[in-house]
Amino acid sequence: MRHFVFLNHHQLENLNAMHDLLHIMKVQNELLDNANKKLSDEISEFKDKQVKYTTRRKRK
């Protein structure tokens, strides 16, 4: 036996709006994840360069 759910116009609009909002939030999370990874990589690279520079200075 199938159960059918009938939505009125306002409920359908709200459902579509929630779907759009969830999609936007998903994209924002992906952008934040990418930005965090890039920042983390840049920080690691900076720390590596700083350690090499500091090590070289101590030898002189």
pLDDT in tens, 6-50: 889 999 999 999 999 999 999 999 999 999 999 999 999 999 888
Beta-carbon contacts of 7 under 8 Å, excluding residues fewer than 6 positions away, are 15
Rounded Cα distance between 15 and 11, Å, is 6
Confidence (pLDDT) at 51: 78
Confidence (pLDDT) at 56: 66
Confidence of residue 58 (pLDDT cuts 50, 70, 90): low
Confidence of residue 1 (pLDDT cuts 50, 70, 90): confident
Rounded Cα distance between 15 and 8, Å, is 11
Is 41 within 8 Å of 33 (Cβ atoms)?
no
